[in-house]
């Protein structure tokens, strides 16, 4: 190749290289412009300022939480009345006034209510800035046991309300030995209070005596009414529903006993002379909260006393 041809080829290569560089320049520029700038490490002074602000914020919250600006000044206690209710309210109010609406010490409130067996639990809410509301859920007495000559009220779960007077209207629950703890433990006594707890209120207030025997099991005597034979300690809701159905049937008026140990087939006995030999009654709706899918409409059977 001549010198002239070599110079021409070199010039062509240079021109091509320049063209490629010019074309590649905008792409590299776009790549550099789209890339995020790298973030440098925060300065120590910035970190110190952030930490100081956080500490001050936390300290301010703790100061406000326990300050007089949000102190409890109004205490509303609901759900309990009577002489013992006044004592419970005083104890809860005293504990509540040592708190703020932003710092409720639930343990202290529970401790204040603990000496009163009538208190089942408490529900607490607050309204900013100075009001606390406490609702007392009470234990409901369904019967009474006699301990050392003193009647003690007892709830449906067997809790003994040792500091609450037992009304004379509560039926007495027989026990073989003196209850030592906070609850009944004898099986027959526990079954009796469970049965009373499952009763519709209109019928529970009519129960005047409770007994458990070997042949009939659990029985409950209604005031100015028949003896209800419950048998074993099961399906109390269904048994009460069956008893209510039979009691509502005019043809069963005057019966001395209603056996609902099998609630699908309640049996009536002790009808006065001249009463119908047979009768039917529809099983009413079970008491609220009770379900028993095995219960069907009962057809009372009738027997006569010898």
Question: What's the CATH code of the domain at 98?
Answer: 3.10.20.310
* Domain assignment present for 183: no
At residue 44, φ and ψ (nearest 5 deg) are: -55, -35
pLDDT of residue 297: 43
Distance between CA atoms of residues 108 and 204, nearest Å:
36
Strands 207-213 and 150-155: unpaired
* Domain assignment present for 169: no
pLDDT of residue 46: 86
CB 193 within 8 A of CB 230: no
* Domain assignment present for 223: yes
* Domain assignment present for 13: no
pLDDT of residue 221: 98
107: domain range? 68-138
Q: What is the model's pTM?
A: 0.66
Block mean pLDDT (10 aa), the chain, length 306: 58 60 53 54 83 87 89 96 90 97 96 94 96 96 92 95 89 92 94 97 96 96 97 97 95 94 95 59 48 45 44
Tally of domains within the chain? 2
pLDDT of residue 155: 96
* Domain assignment present for 126: yes
Last residue of a domain, one of 138, 156, 171: 138
């Amino acid at each position: 190749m001549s010198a002239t041809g070599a110079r021409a080829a070199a010039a062509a290569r240079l021109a091509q290289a320049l063209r490629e560089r010019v074309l590649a320049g905008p792409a590299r520029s776009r790549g550099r412009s789209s890339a995020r700038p790298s973030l440098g490490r925060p300065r120590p002074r910035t970190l110190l300022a952030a930490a100081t602000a956080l500490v001050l914020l936390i300290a301010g919250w703790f100061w406000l939480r326990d300050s007089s600006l949000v102190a409890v000044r109004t205490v509303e206690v609901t759900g309990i009345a009577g002489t013992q209710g006044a004592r419970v309210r005083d104890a809860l109010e005293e504990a509540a006034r040592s708190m703020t609406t932003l710092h409720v010490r639930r343990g202290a409130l529970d401790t204040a209510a603990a000496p009163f067996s009538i208190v089942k639990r408490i529900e607490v809410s607050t309204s900013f800035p100075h009001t606390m509301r406490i609702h007392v859920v009470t234990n409901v007495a369904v019967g009474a046991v006699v301990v050392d000559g003193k009647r003690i009220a007892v709830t449906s779960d067997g809790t003994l309300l040792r500091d609450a007077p037992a009304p004379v209207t509560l039926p007495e629950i027989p026990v073989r030995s003196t209850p030592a703890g906070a609850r009944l433990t004898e099986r027959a006594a526990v079954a009796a209070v469970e049965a009373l707890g499952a009763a519709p209120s209109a019928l529970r207030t009519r129960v005047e005596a409770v007994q458990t025997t070997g042949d009939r099991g659990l029985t409950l005597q209604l005031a100015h009414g028949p003896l209800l034979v419950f048998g074993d300690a099961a399906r109390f809701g269904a048994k009460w529903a069956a008893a209510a159905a039979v009691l509502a049937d005019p043809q069963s008026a005057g019966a001395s006993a209603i056996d609902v140990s099998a609630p699908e087939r309640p049996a009536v006995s002790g009808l006065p002379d001249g009463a119908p030999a047979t009768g039917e009654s529809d099983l009413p709706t079970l008491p609220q909260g009770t379900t028993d899918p095995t219960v069907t409409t009962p057809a009372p059977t009738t027997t006569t006393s010898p």
